[in-house]
Amino acid sequence: MKASRRWWLLGWIIVVALLVGLGVAFHQYERSHAWREAATNLQAIARLKVSQIKDWRAERLDEASELTDREGFGKRILDFRESGMERFQILFDRLSSHDGYSDVMVVAPDGDILFSLINRTGKLNDKVQRDLERALQTGEPVLTDIHNESGGYGPNIDAIAPFYAEVGGATEPVGAIVLQNDASEFLYPLLQSWPVPTESAETLIVRREDDHVLFLNEVRYRRNLALRLQIPLTQEDVPAVMAVKGKTGVVEGTDYRGVRVLSALEPIPDSNWFMIAKVDVEEALGSWRHFSLFILGSIFGLVLAAIMVAAMIRQYELKKHYRAQMRAERARRRSETRFRTTLMSVGDGVIATDANGAIEFLNPVAEALTGWTQKEGRQKPLEEVFRIVNEETREIVENPVRRVVREGNVVGLANHTLLIDRGGEEHPIADSGAPIRNEEGEITGVVLVFRDQSEERRHQAELRESVKRHHRTLDNMLEGCQIVDFEWNYVYVNHTVAQHARMQREDLLGNCMLEVFPGIDRTELFERLKECMEGRTSLLMENEFFYPDGTSAWFELSVQPVPEGLFILSMDITARKQSEDLATRRRDRLLAQQETLASLIRSDLFWGEHLETAIRHLLEVAAQHQHVERVSLWRIDEEAITIRCSDLYERTPNRHSSGQVLNREIFPNYFKSLIQEETIVADDALADPRTCDFADDYLKPLGIASMLDVPIRLYGTLEGVLCFEHVGEKITWLPEHRLFAQAVAHLIALALAQNERRKIEEEKENLQGQLLQAQKLEAVGRLAGGVAHDFNNMLQAILGYTDLALEGIDPDSPYKKDFMEIHQAAQRSANLTRQLLAFARKQAISPVVLDLNDKISDLLKMLRRLIGEDINLAWMPGASLWRIKVDPTQVDQILANLVVNSRDAIAGVGKVTIETGNKTFDEEYCHDHTGASPGEFVRISVSDDGCGMDKETLEHVFEPFFSTKPIGEGTGLGLATVYGIVKQNEGFINVYSEPGHGTTFAIYLPRCEVPMEDRSSDSSPEPLSGGNETILIVEDEEAVLQLGTRILEGLGYRVLKARGPREALQLANENHSAIQLLITDVVMPEMNGRDLSQKLRDLMPDDLKVLFMSGYTADLIANRGVLEDGVKFIQKPFSMRELATIVRQTLDA
């Protein structure tokens, strides 16, 4: 009851304290809220006024700057000082009236007042004089501090504008204009204003003056104190002192009146002024003070109500207490009955005594163990009924009642205690005694509880025997078995644990784990074991154990709680963890390899146009991932006779190389495996039969110990092999090594396939271009073929008759020049026709075996005339040049066209180079360069240092009639003719050019191994040779027929002329024995020339000679069979000399 009363009183005090505390907290919160609201308003007003003052000061300085910046103002001051300063009156009156200046003065550099609107004289005061000197030194306007002037002027703020002028050739300060502002006109009214009605608020500006604070404006509660009121800096509670000492924001302090005020402190930028906006605390917190009275009254009312409620509750609790006591008494009686029944039924012996040790109660178990009944033992001393001795010493054990009473706690008997019953029989027991206390806590008796341990002793003996058997079993287990007690001492360890710990069993048994393994208590393992020990829980975990020598081992631990402490079963899983770690590393390596391969496939480099760059990158990545020194790619030829290294990457020098070739005859075993497309996994390359052939020449010099070679297949065909070569000690190639190597080989095959596809597409495009070019050629050829015959016949007549005219005309005749011009024009027309036919590859040619160096040497003089003197022609003949078979005139056409093109590409001085040389192309080169053919070729190159060509021009350079020259300066057939001649002679041409870097044309003509004929002869023209033989000329073109007749008759021959085959046969019948030579057109209406010659030979003797002539294209003539070896032919148009020469050669053959 007393305790309940104390708790009730404590609860009431807590409620009252809580009400008071909440009231006080609310009171303080409201005061803080009112304080913050007043502080926010003060700070806003202070910042507003600071901003206004800052703007006002800036305006004063800007107006002074405008005066300073006026050009020539300093010179005007000098002039006015001589002529009278009154001339400033109008300007300064305007300034004063417009900007509200109280005075405008002109002062000299020494401070003398030269002019004043209010007629002030004398000097400026000392403070303004110092500001004047600063303005003249810096050249910038200066705004003075607030100051009083002598003579009753002030307080003022002056803006000083300095001026300079040329004096004696140097710029000197000549004075300044002082714009004086009366502080009472703007500044003080601004400070005295307040945005809301107030009884105590005011705004002050102050500055530090030595060890005082000087008030710069009038204060609200005192008069005439501006620039006179000072407060020492030692009065740190004054807001003005706080401001000049650097404090900003809202503070609470004591003002100059000694009244508590709330103040907002702000520095005024660009000045030494500080703004203080303040209001009395009484006014700032006035509304809160009224509200605080209400709060205090409310608190008092709540406390009074709490007292009344507490009294009512107390009355109710008293009634409740008495009713509870009645119920408790009834419950106690029931409890005692139930308690007695429980004691009588419990399985342990129970004896209750009073405080003196007299027995008051024995339950049935106690009666059975002691031999005394309840009735017999009641009120007997405990020592008489409950006789106990030490099992080992047989000494009488101390009376437990006296011990419990003495110690006042629950006590237990010592181990090995025997109870001797009334009949003298001994019973091993375990007991304990506990005090019985009343409500006041006084000991009124003792209860003893004891248990017969006979059966338990028997079980313990059996258990010990069982433990020994188990220990023998555990000692022979392969797993480590250990038992630690609750003090972490090793109770049992088997031999395997000692082996795991690398110790002797004696070093562990009986010793503490924390001492045997210092620092183990700081490990995660010990924390987990500690949890199992304290929580009696099981644990299965893996742990890495570190030995003192730095090595470690992994163990799987199974922990079970046992009565002694913890049983720990340990299994060495180091080998398994190493296998798992190896598997993890392999998996990580495979994942990294897969990611690398995926990134390679996704990269633009892999799908780009540069196969060599992509493969180089692949080899570098493969070497890095496989951790090998050398990775190389070898390409095999079609017959699988040799493999050639196309790229070898070496990691240590980080370099690439190529070119080595291996032959199947030298390394048959390796090639056999390679041809069978077998992956060669040679852990010991020196001993492996497939690679041991490389030992002396390759493996040993390079230190290669292991090789992994993977074949590369493309479209089912072996293309090469990817080689991984490990330098140093032998290694074992793991499955992941082989998988990655095969994946890289597949990637290379994919890159090769991509490159092959790209080449096929390029070749397709080139073939399409060639088809288009062939179609153009065919079109031009048809055009050339269509006009060649008629055009050549006309040109034949013009050239022939011109030759006759020139032969017969007087050399001094004025018409000779005209005939020569006609002849040259006809010759140019004939050359144009030949170019057309050469371009279309329909020109009749007579190829011969020649030495290109000799041919070009003969042309140099003519070529130099073509290019002129400003361009240097360099001739660089190749050594041991192979022979070619070509029509010499076509070589002339090629070189003339190329040299002229080079000349036209050079502006001014330049250089043209002609080179020759031998060149051999293999299948691989031709595979990569469309248009090229494998074999041996003679190279002719013509290079210049002219303007060059861009890519778009290069694409059209060989098209007929395409020209970059201005209209009228080129036919567009020069390069097309060269292209046609090269193709006609089964060669190919390449062109290399860049804008601004010149152009090179490289022509490749096939080598001819037929010996060159001796064609040396005197090149000087011989006189026309004739004869007296009879010649039958057959021509369906009348003009050409008459021309040929005249030329031949002029040479002394007897000529029979026929206008067609029928007429020719008729003349042959009439003169069959006299005709020695038949000159016939190839294409005629009735019969072609070939058939005509056959019929005439049937009529004539066997020695009838035949000379064919035609103006048609070569392909059309060839169809008539007149371009075969041994058949004489002359192409129209021909000159008189050409006709005379070939007629004589035919007759003499």
Instruction: State whether residue 192 is helix, strand or coil.
Output: helix
The DSSP secondary structure of 284-308, one letter per residue, reads: HTHHHHHHHHHHHHHHHHHHHHHHH
Q: Which residue has the higher pLDDT, 386 or 964?
A: 386
Q: What are phi and psi of 956, to 5 degrees?
A: -115, 5
The Cα-based distances of 172 to 162, 166, 821 in angstroms read: 11, 6, 92
Instruction: State whether residue 707 is helix, strand or coil.
Output: strand
Kindly report which listed range (24-28, 469-473, 474-478, 646-650) carries the lowest average pLDDT score.
24-28
How would residue 1019 be classed by pLDDT, with cut points 50, 70 and 90? very low
- How high is the pLDDT of residue 1001? 92
- How high is the pLDDT of residue 576? 83
How many other C-beta atoms lie within 10 A of the C-beta of residue 771? 10
- How high is the pLDDT of residue 937? 94
Residue (of 514, 500, 568) closest to 539 by Cα position: 568
Q: Characterize the bridge pairing of strands 910-921 and 935-944.
A: antiparallel
Q: What's the average model confidence in pLDDT over 510-534?
A: 90
- How high is the pLDDT of residue 882? 92
- How high is the pLDDT of residue 1146? 87
- How high is the pLDDT of residue 597? 63
Instruction: State whether residue 151 is helix, strand or coil.
Output: coil
Token pair recorded at residue 584: 């993890």
- Looking at the chain, the number of H-run helices and the number of E-run strands are 33, 42
How would residue 603 be classed by pLDDT, with cut points 50, 70 and 90? low
Q: Which residue has the higher pLDDT, 90 or 1?
A: 90
CA atoms of 243 and 261, how far apart (whole Å): 14
- How high is the pLDDT of residue 16? 67
Q: What are phi and psi of 620, to 5 degrees?
A: -65, -45
Q: Has residue 1015 got a pLDDT over 60? A: no
Kindly report which listed range (353-357, 380-384, 786-790, 1105-1109) carries the lowest average pLDDT score.
786-790
| Contact assessment for residue 563 and residue 586, using Cβ atoms and an 8 Å cutoff | no
Token pair recorded at residue 373: 């009944």
Q: Which residue has the higher pLDDT, 841 or 1076?
A: 1076
| Contact assessment for residue 205 and residue 273, using Cβ atoms and an 8 Å cutoff | yes
Distance, CA of 904 to chain centre: 50
Q: Name residue 834's amino acid.
A: R
Q: Which residue has the higher pLDDT, 236 or 816?
A: 236
Q: Which residue has the higher pLDDT, 778 or 849?
A: 849
Write out pLDDT tens, residues 792-813. Answer: 777 777 877 787 777 777 777 8
Q: What's the average model confidence in pLDDT over 621-642?
A: 84
Q: What are phi and psi of 428, to 5 degrees?
A: -70, 130
Q: Which residue has the higher pLDDT, 879 or 324?
A: 879
Percent helix, strand and coil across the chain, each to the nearest 5: 45, 25, 30
Kindly report which listed range (258-272, 309-323, 634-648, 729-743) carries the lowest average pLDDT score.
309-323
Q: Which residue has the higher pLDDT, 769 or 909?
A: 909
Instruction: State whether residue 313 is helix, strand or coil.
Output: helix
CA atoms of 509 and 483, how far apart (whole Å): 10
Q: What's the average model confidence in pLDDT over 535-562?
A: 89
Which residues lie closer than 8 Å to 1101 by C-beta, 6 or more apart?
A: 1073
Radius of gyration, CA atoms only, the chain: 65
How many other C-beta atoms lie within 10 A of the C-beta of residue 664? 18
Cα 982–Cα 984–Cα 990 angle in degrees, nearest 5: 25
Q: Has residue 1017 got a pLDDT over 50? A: no
- How high is the pLDDT of residue 942? 93
CA atoms of 648 and 702, how far apart (whole Å): 13
- How high is the pLDDT of residue 939? 93
How would residue 484 be classed by pLDDT, with cut points 50, 70 and 90? very high
Residues of 825-848 as b/e, b for ≥16 C-beta within 10 angstroms?
Answer: ebbebbeebbbbbbbbbbbbbeee
How would residue 489 be classed by pLDDT, with cut points 50, 70 and 90? very high
- How high is the pLDDT of residue 610? 67
CA atoms of 398 and 761, how far apart (whole Å): 114
Q: Has residue 1079 got a pLDDT over 80? A: yes
- How high is the pLDDT of residue 443? 83
Q: What's the average model confidence in pLDDT over 843-854?
A: 78
Residue (of 501, 550, 557) closest to 529 by Cα position: 557
Instruction: State whether residue 848 is helix, strand or coil.
Output: strand
Q: Has residue 544 got a pLDDT over 70? A: yes
Domain architecture of the chain: domains with CATH: 70-182 (3.30.450.20), 346-452 (3.30.450.20), 461-572 (3.30.450.20), 603-733 (3.30.450.40), 852-1006 (3.30.565.10), 1030-1148 (3.40.50.2300)
- How high is the pLDDT of residue 1101? 64
**What is the C-alpha end-to-end distance of the chain, expressed in Å?**
163
Percentage of residues in the chain with pLDDT exceeding 90? 8
- How high is the pLDDT of residue 512? 92
Which residues lie closer than 8 Å to 1136 by C-beta, 6 or more apart?
A: 800, 803, 804, 807, 1024, 1047
Q: What are phi and psi of 798, to 5 degrees?
A: -65, -50
- For residue 175, the cross-strand partners are 163
Token pair recorded at residue 540: 């299965």
- How high is the pLDDT of residue 870? 83
Q: Has residue 1002 got a pLDDT over 50? A: yes
Tracing tokens 């011109």 back to the chain, one arrives at 802
CA atoms of 1055 and 264, how far apart (whole Å): 137
Token pair recorded at residue 254: 């004591």
CA atoms of 1095 and 1074, how far apart (whole Å): 16
CA atoms of 863 and 895, how far apart (whole Å): 8
| Contact assessment for residue 645 and residue 734, using Cβ atoms and an 8 Å cutoff | no
CA atoms of 418 and 416, how far apart (whole Å): 7
How many other C-beta atoms lie within 10 A of the C-beta of residue 968? 6
- For residue 571, the cross-strand partners are 556
Write out pLDDT tens, residues 454-477. Answer: 777 777 777 777 767 766 667 777
Cα 28–Cα 31–Cα 36 angle in degrees, nearest 5: 125
Residues of 937-963 as b/e, b for ≥16 C-beta within 10 angstroms?
Answer: bbbbbbbbbbbbbeeeeeeebbebeeb
How would residue 1000 be classed by pLDDT, with cut points 50, 70 and 90? very high
Q: What's the average model confidence in pLDDT over 932-937?
A: 86
CA atoms of 855 and 842, how far apart (whole Å): 23
Token pair recorded at residue 965: 């020259």
Distance, CA of 776 to chain centre: 51
CA atoms of 507 and 194, how far apart (whole Å): 93
Kindly report which listed range (396-400, 574-578, 923-927, 1024-1028) carries the lowest average pLDDT score.
923-927
| Contact assessment for residue 377 and residue 385, using Cβ atoms and an 8 Å cutoff | yes
Q: Which residue has the higher pLDDT, 1122 or 347?
A: 347
Q: Has residue 155 got a pLDDT over 80? A: yes
| Contact assessment for residue 830 and residue 795, using Cβ atoms and an 8 Å cutoff | yes
The Cα-based distances of 436 to 338, 400, 832, 1136 in angstroms read: 17, 13, 145, 162
Q: Which residue has the higher pLDDT, 410 or 30?
A: 410
| Contact assessment for residue 117 and residue 97, using Cβ atoms and an 8 Å cutoff | no
- How high is the pLDDT of residue 849? 87
Q: What's the average model confidence in pLDDT over 736-752?
A: 80
- How high is the pLDDT of residue 1016? 47
Which residues lie closer than 8 Å to 564 by C-beta, 6 or more apart?
A: 483, 485, 491
- How high is the pLDDT of residue 116? 85
Dihedral angle over CA of 644, 646, 652, 655, nearest 10: 130
Token pair recorded at residue 699: 């493996």
Residue (of 66, 264, 273, 96) closest to 185 by Cα position: 96
Kindly report which listed range (333-337, 659-663, 887-891, 1079-1083) carries the lowest average pLDDT score.
333-337
- How high is the pLDDT of residue 1018? 45
Q: Has residue 65 got a pLDDT over 60? A: yes
Instruction: State whether residue 693 is helix, strand or coil.
Output: helix
Helix (H) or strand (E) run with residue 925 in it? helix 923-928
Distance, CA of 364 to chain centre: 91
Residue (of 1009, 985, 989) closest to 1000 by Cα position: 989
Average pLDDT, the chain: 80
The Cα-based distances of 41 to 31, 37, 278, 290 in angstroms read: 16, 6, 10, 20
